[in-house]
């Protein structure tokens, strides 16, 4: 039985392939007048023939046009929501006096790292140097931070439930893994373009791009984290009659948390990398300083902005990382007693 | 009616177990099935019944299917075919909801590598079964504290499992299983991961608890000494088949096949056999030299009175608690019971 299934599958693939070739042939304007020519004139075996061309581009463009026409309102709604969120957040933070904001970040780091003085002092220096490098950078870093934070929130809201679903269901995992691969490997400019078409220029396509680029590691690590939870511990929960929800919230998620935090950390780093690229589509922020330096062949300017990005990355990394470590300590206690 | 009854259970692991089932039912061996179909036979026509209040020990080497068997009882694993009845209800007939209720109230489990929740303190671990039942924190902690005390872990209730030694962790596991106050306790190689001294300590603790609580315990082990010490009945599994079921004495005195024989070969019989088992009864005993007799209680193990016999070269008079003579043991009986066949 299993053998037949395989054969059926293979023949389906073959049919699909032949269908694609036929479609390519019939829709091409370079095709020879009749098929019989192909057998008499064998020159098409030399260079790749022009008629052997899958019409993917016009197909995608048509589909995309249709998407915009029919679901334009939907994307408009998302756009307005995200843009509103971004503007509010940015205006609030820019409006704050800079020392106050700095103290806020330092306090956040202090508590997130479990009152670790070393990390806090390092982050404090990094925050100070953002403005110290160039006063312009302060507001631009705030913009970048807002975009990264909103993009990350989006990743969390969607990524963690998807990761949980993947861990629970093998079929879902098999279906999603290639999509995640695609999201990670497709060059980021390829989805910046539809981002612009859907959401216009500015912060929102950047958030969209961040989501596409940064959500895969979070999904993967959530999935992995849950599956790596000791089988016997999960079995114990089942044996005592935990239902699915109790098992997930009481056992699997808390034990997967160190891995999920690692995913969030990865997610932040990738978001920051993306926001710099997104400056090419007119997203305001620290990235456009690099772009400006590039355009003016101003080495100093580009380097200075580059350093600011590194500092910003260190701040994000230290805060999320140290929070993850704090959680990890809680679940993986060192042995203190031996009796 | 037995407390737990397992009827003709087959378990086959692989892609399409139901197709391989007829082959196994016709008596193909584990190796044959694996070679021909790539399926692994976990259990092969296992039937047994476990009475209320007894400790049933299921023994076998690794890969013999004993852990698979115990997981059928609370349906952590579904059988390929066969029935598992607990108190007369077939666990295979339970839907998801009643299965969860069944696991919450009917049985608890102790695991080989403890299966404790590393992110919960000892008291939270012990109270877990009650937590999933939806008991209040107060109620939970009260019962959990009682159980922590009964396994002798007072003072450690706010530690995390990783801060405790192996033996202490398994006591937490035991307390957790006791906390839900279920009638049936499943123990999957519960003491196998502990070192020998702590293990015998835990065995004693389990025997003490059991003499008080009279639960139905299904205990899995690969250690024959442990099974002889704990079990009222012992079932021996080999390659997914149940080879022999019997009391410890039956297993030692009349092993069913070569496999069991090899198992019991190295057992210290003096440690396992009781006086009443090996004695010849009082009315059969003729011509025994009664001039030099030692009184032996019928429940004493051979090793307890053997030194005395050797030193004084006397015969033994076996008496019950009231002092009535039940039978006699002479060198002949001792030789018969202690020599390896």
Cα torsion at B11, B12, B14, B15 (round to 10°)?
A: -80
Is the residue at B226 inside a domain?
A: yes
Whether chain B has a CB inside 8 Å of the CB on A237: the answer is yes
Q: Let me know whether B230 and B102 are in one domain.
A: yes
Domain that holds residue B258: 52-67+95-106+182-265
Do residue B186 and residue A239 have CB atoms under 8 angstroms apart? yes
Phi, psi of B264 (to 5 degrees): -85, 0
Does A57 lie at the interface with B, CB-CB under 8 angstroms? no
From chain B, pick out residues whose CB is under 8 angstroms from the CB of A250: 131-132
B252 and B190 in a common domain = yes
* Domain identity same for B201 and B293: no
Query: Closest Cα of chain B to A244: distance in Å?
Result: 10
Q: CA A221, CA A167: separation in Å to the nearest integer? A: 10
Closest residue in chain A to residue B104, using alpha carbons only: A241
Residue of B nearest to A242 (CA): B132
* Same domain, yes or no: B290 and B236: no
Whether A204 and A236 have beta carbons less than 8 Å apart is answered as: no
Contact check, Cβ <8 Å, B132/A235:
no
- Minimum Cα–Cα distance from A246: chain B residue: B132
Last residue of a domain, one of B242, B265, B288: B265
B232 and B251: one domain?
Answer: yes
CB-based contact B108 A240, cutoff 8 Å? yes
Share of chain A above pLDDT 90, in %: 53
For the segment A249-263, the average pLDDT, to the nearest whole number, is 91
Residue A330: pLDDT above 80? no
Decide if A331 contacts A257 (C-beta within 8 A): yes
Supply the pLDDT for residue B213: 87
Asked if the structure places residue B123 within a domain, the reply is: no
Closest residue in A to B72 (Cα–Cα): A239
Residue A337 pLDDT exceeds 60: no
B216-221 and B184-188 as β-strands: parallel, antiparallel, unpaired? parallel
Residue of A239, A242, A330 lying closest to B74 (CB–CB): A239
Contact B205, B151 (CB under 8 A): yes
> Two tokens at B21?
């089932």
On whether residue B163 sits in a domain, the answer given is no
> Between residues 275 and 294 of chain A, which touch chain B (CB distance below 8 Å)?
none
Q: Is B101 on the interface with A (CB under 8 A)?
A: yes
CATH number of the domain encompassing residue B201:
3.40.50.300
Same domain, B215 and B323: no
Q: Is residue B280 part of a domain?
A: yes
CB contact under 8 A, A337 and B109: no
Nearest Cβ partner of A236 from B102, B111, B119? B111
CA distance B274 to B230: 15
CATH code of the domain occupying A67-331: 1.10.3720.10
CB contact under 8 A, B165 and A339: yes
Distance from CA of A330 to the nearest CA of B (A): 7
Total beta-carbon pairs less than 8 A apart between chain A and chain B: 85
Number of domains in chain B: 2
Q: What is the pLDDT of residue A155?
A: 94
What residue of A is the nearest CA neighbor of B153?
A339
- Mutation site, A236, A252, A254, interface B, largest B CB count within 10 A: A236
Q: Given this model, what pLDDT does residue A326 score?
A: 78
Q: Which of B162, B170, B172 to mutate to test the interface with A (most CBs of A within 10 A)?
A: B162
Last residue of a domain, one of B243, B265, B287: B265
CATH of the domain at B275: 3.90.1280.20
- The closest of A186, A339, A326 to A258, measured between CA atoms, is A326
Are the beta carbons of B163 and A330 separated by less than 8 Å?
no
Q: Nearest chain B Cα to A328, which residue? A: B119
Q: Which of B208, B4, B230 is nearest to B106 (CA)?
A: B4
Rounded CA separation A215/A264 (Å): 9
**What does the pLDDT read at residue A2?**
59
A91-141 confidence digits (pLDDT tens): 999 999 999 999 999 999 999 888 889 999 999 999 999 999 989 999 999
Give the max Cα distance, chain A.
90
Q: Do A241 and B113 touch (CB under 8 A)?
A: no
Q: Which residues of A touch B103 (CB under 8 A)?
A: 238-241
pLDDT of residue A335: 44
Nearest-angstrom CA–CA distance, B276 and B302: 10
Give the nearest partner residue to A236 out of B105, B115, B180, using CB atoms.
B115
Is the CB of A333 less than 8 angstroms away from the CB of B162? yes
Q: What is the pLDDT of residue A333?
A: 52
Residue A1: pLDDT above 60?
Answer: no
* pTM of the complete model: 0.81
Residues B257 and B308 in one domain: no
Cα atoms found within 13 Å of the Cα of residue B144, Cβ hemisphere only? 25
Q: Specify whether B100 is located in the same domain as B205.
A: yes
Are A241 and B102 within 8 A, CB to CB? Answer: yes
Whether B117 has its CB under 8 Å from any CB of chain A: the answer is: yes
Residue A89 pLDDT: 94
Mutation for B interface: A170, A240, A261, most B CBs within 10 A: A240
Statement to judge: residues B219 and B329 lie in one domain: no
* Domain ranges for chain A: 2-45, 67-331
* Cβ within 8 Å of residue A207, ≥6 positions away: A82, A86, A147, A150, A151, A154
pLDDT in tens, chain B (341 residues): 788 999 999 999 988 888 889 888 888 888 888 888 889 899 999 999 999 999 999 998 888 888 999 999 989 999 999 999 999 889 989 999 999 999 999 999 999 989 999 989 999 999 999 999 999 999 999 999 999 998 889 899 899 998 898 889 999 999 999 999 999 999 998 898 888 888 888 898 898 888 888 899 999 999 888 888 888 999 999 888 899 999 988 888 888 889 888 888 888 888 778 887 888 887 776 777 777 788 888 878 888 888 888 888 888 888 888 888 888 888 888 887 877 65
The Cα of B208 is separated from the nearest Cα of chain A by a number of Å equal to 22
Which positions ≥6 away from B229 have C-beta within 8 Å?
Answer: B203, B207
Residues B129, A332: C-beta atoms closer than 8 Å? no
Q: Is residue B80 part of a domain?
A: no
Question: How crowded is residue B134: how many other Cβ atoms within 10 Å of its Cβ?
Answer: 9
The C-alpha torsion from A75 through A76 and A82 to A84, rounded to 10°, is -170
Whether the CB-CB separation of B248 and B274 falls below 8 Å is answered with no
Q: Examine the fold and report which residue of B204, B236, B265 is the final residue of a domain before the chain moves on.
A: B265
The span from the CA of A269 to the CA of A263, in Å, is 10
DSSP state letters, B79-116: -SEEEEEETTEEGGG--HHHHHHHHHHTEEEEBTTB--
Inside any domain, residue B11: no
Contact across the interface for B128 and A237, Cβ inside 8 Å:
yes
- pLDDT higher than threshold 90 for residue A16: yes
Residues B257, B278: one domain?
A: no
Question: In 3D, which of B227, B229, B184 has the Cα closest to residue B204?
Answer: B229
Check whether A202 has a pLDDT greater than 80.
yes
**Same domain, yes or no, for B330 and B202?**
no
Q: What is the pLDDT of residues A265-324, one digit of tens each?
A: 999 899 988 888 888 888 888 888 988 998 999 999 999 999 999 999 999 999 988 888
CA distance A280 to B257: 80
Q: Are residues B260 and B275 in the same domain?
A: no
Q: Is the dihedral of CA A245, A250, A251, A257 positive or negative?
A: positive
Q: Do B165 and A338 touch (CB under 8 A)?
A: yes
B181 at interface of A, judged by CB pairs closer than 8 A: no
| Probe site for chain B from A241, A250, A252, A254 (most B CB atoms < 10 A) | A241
| Residue A300 touches chain B, beta carbons under 8 Å | no
Name the DSSP letter for residue B39: P
What confidence tens digit (pLDDT) does each residue in A17-27 have?
999 988 888 88
* pLDDT single digits (tens) A212-248: 999 999 999 999 999 999 999 999 999 999 999 999 9
Give the distance from residue A85's alpha carbon to the nearest chain B alpha carbon, in angstroms. Answer: 36
ipTM of the complex: 0.82
């Amino acid at each position: 039985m299993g053998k037949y299934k395989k054969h059926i599958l293979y023949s389906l693939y073959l049919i699909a392939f032949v269908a694609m070739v036929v479609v390519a042939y019939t829709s091409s304007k370079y095709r020879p007048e009749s098929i019989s020519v192909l057998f008499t004139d064998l020159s098409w075996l030399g260079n790749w023939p022009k008629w052997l061309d899958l019409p993917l581009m016009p197909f995608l463009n048509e589909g995309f046009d249709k998407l915009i026409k029919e679901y334009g309102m939907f994307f408009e709604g998302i756009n307005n929501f995200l843009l509103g969120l971004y503007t509010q957040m940015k205006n609030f933070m820019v409006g704050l006096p800079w020392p106050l904001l700095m103290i806020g970040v330092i306090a956040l780091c202090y508590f997130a790292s479990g009152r670790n003085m070393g990390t806090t002092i390092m982050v404090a220096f990094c925050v100070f140097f953002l403005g110290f490098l160039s006063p312009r950078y302060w507001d631009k870093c705030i913009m970048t931070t807002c975009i990264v934070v909103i993009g990350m929130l989006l990743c969390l809201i969607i990524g963690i439930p998807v990761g949980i679903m993947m861990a629970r269901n093998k079929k879902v995992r098999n279906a999603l893994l290639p999509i995640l691969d695609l999201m990670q490997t497709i060059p980021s400019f390829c989805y910046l373009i539809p981002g612009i078409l859907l959401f216009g220029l500015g912060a929102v396509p950047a958030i969209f791009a961040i989501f596409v680029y940064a959500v895969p590691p979070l999904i993967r690590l959530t999935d992995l984290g849950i599956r790596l939870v000791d089988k016997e511990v999960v079995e114990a929960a089942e044996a005592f009659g935990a239902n699915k929800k109790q098992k997930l919230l009481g056992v699997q998620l808390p034990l997967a948390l160190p891995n999920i935090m690692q995913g969030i950390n990865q997610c932040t780093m990738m978001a920051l990398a993306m926001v710099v690229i997104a400056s090419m589509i007119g997203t305001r922020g620290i990235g456009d300083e690099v772009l400006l330096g590039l355009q003016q062949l101003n080495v100093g300017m580009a380097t200075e902005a580059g350093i600011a990005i590194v500092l910003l990355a260190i701040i994000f990394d230290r805060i999320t990382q140290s929070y993850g470590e704090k959680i990890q300590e809680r679940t993986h206690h060192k042995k203190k007693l031996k009796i | 009616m037995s407390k737990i009854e397992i009827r003709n259970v087959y378990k086959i692991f692989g892609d399409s177990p139901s197709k391989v089932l007829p082959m196994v039912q016709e008596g193909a061996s584990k190796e044959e099935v694996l070679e021909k179909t790539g399926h692994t036979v976990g259990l092969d026509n296992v039937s047994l019944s476990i009475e209320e209040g007894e400790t049933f020990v299921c023994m076998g080497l690794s890969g013999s299917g004993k852990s698979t068997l115990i997981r059928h009882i609370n349906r952590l694993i579904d059988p390929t075919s066969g029935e598992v009845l607990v108190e007369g209800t077939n666990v295979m007939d339970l839907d998801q909801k009643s299965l969860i209720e069944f696991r919450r109230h009917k049985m608890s489990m102790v695991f080989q590598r403890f299966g404790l929740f590393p992110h919960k303190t000892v008291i939270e671990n012990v109270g877990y079964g009650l937590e999933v039942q939806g008991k209040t924190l107060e109620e939970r902690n009260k019962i959990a504290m009682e159980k922590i005390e009964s396994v002798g872990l007072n003072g450690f209730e706010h530690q995390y499992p990783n801060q405790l030694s192996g033996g202490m962790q398994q006591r937490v596991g035991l307390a957790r299983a006791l906390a839900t106050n279920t009638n049936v306790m499943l123990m999957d190689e519960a003491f196998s991961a502990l070192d020998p001294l702590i293990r015998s300590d835990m065995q004693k603790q389990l025997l003490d608890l059991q003499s008080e609580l009279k639960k139905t315990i299904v205990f899995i082990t690969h250690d024959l000494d442990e099974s002889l010490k704990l079990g009222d009945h012992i079932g021996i599994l080999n390659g997914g088949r149940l080879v022999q079921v019997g009391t410890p004495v039956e297993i030692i005195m009349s092993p069913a096949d070569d496999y069991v024989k090899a198992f019991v070969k190295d057992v210290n019989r003096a440690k396992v056999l009781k006086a009443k088992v090996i004695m010849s009864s009082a009315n059969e005993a003729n011509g025994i030299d009664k001039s030099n007799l030692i009184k032996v209680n019928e429940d004493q193990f051979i090793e307890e009175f053997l030194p005395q016999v050797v030193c004084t070269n006397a015969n033994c008079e076996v008496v019950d608690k009231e002092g009535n003579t039940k039978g006699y043991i002479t060198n002949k009986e001792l030789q018969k019971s202690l020599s390896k066949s």
